[in-house]
Amino acid sequence: MNQELRDSVVAWIAGDPDGDDRATLQKLLDGNDEAELERRFAAPLTFGTAGLRGPVMAGPAGMNRYTVRRATQGVIAWMLERGVDSERGVVVGRDSRHGSEAFNNEVVRVLLGAGVKVYEMPGPLATPLVAYCVKALGAEAGIMITASHNPPLDNGFKLYSSDGSQIVPPNDEIVEHYANDATTPALAERPSSHHRWISDDVFAQYQTHFAERFGVDEDDFAIVYTPMHGVGGATMMSLFAAAGHKTVTVVDEQFEPDPTFPTLPFPNPEEPGALDLATATADRVGADLVIANDPDADRLGAAVRGPSGWHVLRGDEIGWLLASTMLPEMTSASDVVATTIVSSTLLRLMAQEAGVRFAMTLTGFKWLARAAGEGTLRLAYEEALGFAVDPLVADKDGLSAALALSKLAVELRREGRSLLDRLDEIEAHFGVHSIYQLSLRAEGSEGLVAIKQAVQSMREKPPADLGGIAVSEVFDLADGFEGLGPTDGLLLRLGASGRVVVRPSGTEPKLKAYIEITAPPAEVTQLADQRRTCAKQVDAVTTDLRNLLRV
């Protein structure tokens, strides 16, 4: 076995606080299992989208107590470097995934041992509530143990700044640097003079605000709700009740938290089949709207009953719907709406017509939350089902967004219309925007190399056309784009017909291509033909991209 690898394993075992993990690594070492040890040590977890995310396993490439302990020490050192007041405290929360409770406890013990005040969630709760509590309690930071919608065996460590938004560079690099240099920490236990459980009053303020803002006075609009085996269930049902929704049916098989996600092909409302149980429940009870949260409830999925069956709303479509009802309410010059470079271009058009300032950011809510600058961010969304509908929470929030979308559905029903009717109105007025995300998974360290090579190959030799449409311009996002900072990826314009963005995922080993094909405004009666034509063009572009982007 490579001596450097052996030394790394021995050093890790010496510092690992978990007896089972130490035994696992020692057994691999004794068995000279170099391949498995390489998997666990060759590519340590790094701070990506505002934190760490990876499989629960022993070693630096996995989420485990030692990784969490070191990351928490990195956060403490980062706070000290910034000269913050530790008495402002850190909010700590967790979801119900494998390892979440143990990792949460590790965070609390390390923070308390360093004399940092801790505001701890009273149990497994939604990620957006951590972001909310950081602002509501005036805390210095927030740490959430979650892997959001990742596969069942993953977990993660998400870090928030004092404004309740996810950290951005160079803060992630600073935390990672200090985490890598971490030594054995002092630990302290609850109860402690530095420890506070977050009280119900704090969560009640959140509920009151959103129930009043997005409340309804109609009680017979039937909704089906699923938290997808995650932690949003009890909170979302309480919000529905407070907002006036009296006819909400839950998907019983998916209501209680379960880290194995037994009824789902993948714990993400975007995935094909993820809402099948919910729509079946809606058919049984006669509901016309399905609302879904991902396992940590920071994302919102939805499906609407239409003339030809269920229509699962894409993230862009939900974004357009929310904008259609929220933009008319924005009257201040400081109001801002925002979306990302990979989301549809339609929000820009809607904002321009409404006279509301529009901002575009790089992918991820860590950038969207800061899009308003000195203004006020009233609405932000990303196509991956992330929505922020109120400045009270500086991150995506699937709970409050669910109330906002449900309220719109109720209001439209009073007029004899539906969410699908509103989408028709939007696209008739602004033009059809046919959208599709191509996602190509590549496993292991070889897969990550293949992803980089695929992007580089397209960078060096971009296609002259895609799906029979000429590529009019190519922008290397590594050089920045329209004032944005550099990021790995390419944007290809297809003249007036649309655009394609190709980039590696920030949270998973995937290469993604975001395709948008557009048509000019037309009468509602022409929409079906336009959508069919655009869909065929999307399919043709997708086929070409599959052939070009081999990972």
Q: Which residues are catalytic?
A: 148
**Is the CB of residue 419 less than 8 Å from the CB of residue 289?**
yes
CA distances from 493 to 333, 423, 475, 547 (A): 31, 25, 8, 19
Which DSSP string do the residues of 311-351 spell out, in sequence order?
A: EEPPHHHHHHHHHHHHGGG--STTEEEEEETTS-SHHHHHH
Which DSSP string do the residues of 486-543 spell out, in sequence order?
A: P-S-EEEE-GGGEEEEEEE-SSSSEEEEEEEEE-----GGGHHHHHHHHHHHHHHHHH
Enumerate the β-bridge partners of residue 292: 226, 301
CA neighbor of 239 nearest in space, from 97, 126, 144: 126
- Non-local CB neighbours of 487 within 8 Å, separated by 6+ positions: 362, 363, 477, 478, 503
- Non-local CB neighbours of 289 within 8 Å, separated by 6+ positions: 221, 222, 223, 224, 282, 302, 303, 304, 305, 406, 409, 419
Q: Is 223 helix (H, G, I), strand (E, B) or coil?
A: strand
Enumerate the β-bridge partners of residue 469: 466
CA neighbor of 503 nearest in space, from 493, 515, 513: 513
Backbone φ and ψ for 210, nearest 5 degrees, come out as: -80, -30
Structure tokens at 409: 């559905």
The whole-angstrom separation of Cα 52 and Cα 62 is 9
- Non-local CB neighbours of 320 within 8 Å, separated by 6+ positions: 344, 346, 347, 350, 423, 426
**Is the CB of residue 148 less than 8 Å from the CB of residue 295?**
yes
